[in-house]
Amino acid sequence: MNTLRTGLLMAGLTGLFVTVGFLVGGPGGMALAFLLALGSNLLAYWNADKVVLAMYGAREVDEQAAPRLVHIVRQLSQAAALPMPKVCIVENPQPNAFATGRDPEHAAVCVTSGLLDRVSDEELAGVLAHELGHVKNRDTLTMTITATIAGAVAMLANFAFFFGGRRNPLGLIGVLLVSLLAPIAAVLVQMTISRAREFEADRAGAEISGRPLWLASALAHIDRTAQAVENPDADANPATAHMFIVNPLHGGFAGLFSSHPPTEQRIARLKAMVETSARPAGPWG
């Protein structure tokens, strides 16, 4: 099912990319956009995780550099029957986290320095279990492909605004439509795959840790703080916003086109898991 979903996503974003290319430069622009889309798909599959990690200046750490973080990831990975992923830290004051990689064997979990500074070990375990839930569900390939191609669509739309007027079949109106609507269309594609996926990763993460309330507490803490602390790297790369555990963006379309379900709903579902579960599982069970 995940393979089919990823294939449909790649096809949909490729179609959007080609359509934008046609509106920018006619048949020639469509052909060029198709070639660029193929290149973007290949890049997204094989190297997009490296691109995203480099985009945020993430550094890989080991048990000597970050013993608390790596120890928790190792415990949770064993509980989830997953290979040990790469563990990375981004120097960023906003508490947040994301996972990337094309499959569990090539996965990386990444946290911000703000998260490490602001949450307890229990909350950190809840967040990391959520990210490993994405890895276990093989969401990370879909998330990373979406970030890469949606970013390319937005870049092509900017190109249309500045250089597309001469050959655009629809003239100035076409340029304006492309530059305004293409990024919104890419965001809407992100939204269609993101909200349900976050609920599922919350559930999977709660099962991995065996403590749904740890993640619930972390989500409340992160959401409250993230609204007050900016994330300039995410604001500069909004196509990656859906990868984070909590929406990292401020202003603009951050609230109108949020790629995340309301935090209150996520917390309510996690609390409901506690009421219906017989006993904790996971490495702390």
Helix axes 67-79, 121-136, angle to 10 degrees: 50
Helix (H) or strand (E) holding 9: helix 2-55
pLDDT in tens, 72-109: 999 999 999 999 999 999 999 999 999 998 899 999 99
Rounded Cα distance between 128 and 209, Å, is 9
- In this structure, what is the dihedral angle of CA atoms 200, 214, 72, 114, given to the nearest 10 degrees? 100
- In this structure, what is the dihedral angle of CA atoms 148, 153, 154, 158, given to the nearest 10 degrees? 140
**Annotation says 131 is catalytic:** yes
Beta bridge partners of 59: 89
Inform me whether the pLDDT recorded for 156 exceeds 90: no
pLDDT in tens, 245-274: 999 987 554 444 566 889 999 999 999 998
Catalytic residue among 123, 131, 198, 207: 131
Beta bridge partners of 110: 88, 98
Most confident listed range (49-58, 176-185, 199-208, 229-238): 199-208
The two structure tokens encoding residue 180: 């305004």
Rounded Cα distance between 196 and 141, Å, is 16
CA-angle at 284, arms to 246 and 206, nearest 5°: 35
Rounded Cα distance between 266 and 136, Å, is 19
pLDDT in tens, 162-197: 555 555 555 555 556 555 665 566 566 656 666 778
